[in-house]
Amino acid sequence: MTKLRSIGLNEDRGFSKYHRILNSLNWNLKQGSQILLKTLLKLVGSERPVILIDETLERRWGKKIQAKGYYRDAVRSSKSQVVNTTGLKWLVMALSFRFDFARRAFALPFFTVLEPSEKCAKKQGKRHKTTLEWSIQMVMQLVRWAPSIPFILVGDGEFACARNMQK
């Protein structure tokens, strides 16, 4: 719905119809991500694609938001002051691509995963997964979607860690 608002359709008399139709459909988000990835890979052509991975915090609060947690807010924090906030933590994969008309590359997101908080996972009777575990799962899915395409994966310092994944 934010997309419809961003292009000015919230002023349209039929805005509520868009909302009702889009919310009533049964969306397969994984399949949508795969279609989007394959479309974006056509932009790259024969170049080796650069895939970016990072997490983002959506500041949200309220009783009905179940997957929320209490996280360090990287945008509002500094070296001297740590700011924590309530919200939803998303892990995002994007294709880095520079259009001919631009000087800089754009990050074109194609795959997002909600990382439920540890408290939320316990409440649902599920095992809590770390950001690194979610990242590994996303990369494995990416390889399944495009097995013959070698890619470069770029993440920030949080992803530069080693963990014993054996059980």
7 in a domain, yes or no?
no
17 in a domain, yes or no?
no
Is 167 a residue whose pLDDT tops 80?
no
How much is the pLDDT for 77? 72
Matching residue, tokens 């540890």: 118
Can you give 86-125 as a three-state secondary structure string? EEEEEEEEEEEECCCCCCCCEEEEEEEEEECCHHHHHHCC
Q: Are strands 84-97 and 50-59 parallel, antiparallel or unpaired?
A: antiparallel
Can you give 67-85 as a three-state secondary structure string? CCEEEECCCCCCCCCCCEE
Q: What is the pTM of this model?
A: 0.73
Mean pLDDT of the chain: 80
85 in a domain, yes or no?
yes
- State the pLDDT confidence band at 85, using cuts at 50, 70 and 90: confident
Burial of 93 (0-12, 13-18, 19+ CB in 10 A): buried
6 in a domain, yes or no?
no
Q: Say how far apart CA 76 and CA 16 lie, in whole Å.
A: 35
Domains contained in the chain, number: 1
Q: Say how far apart CA 97 and CA 100 lie, in whole Å.
A: 10
165 in a domain, yes or no?
no
11 in a domain, yes or no?
no
Q: Say how far apart CA 54 and CA 131 lie, in whole Å.
A: 9
Q: What is the pLDDT of residues 35-58, one digit of tens each?
A: 999 999 988 888 889 999 988 877
143 in a domain, yes or no?
yes
Question: Could you tell me the residue range of the domain that residue 96 belongs to?
Answer: 27-159
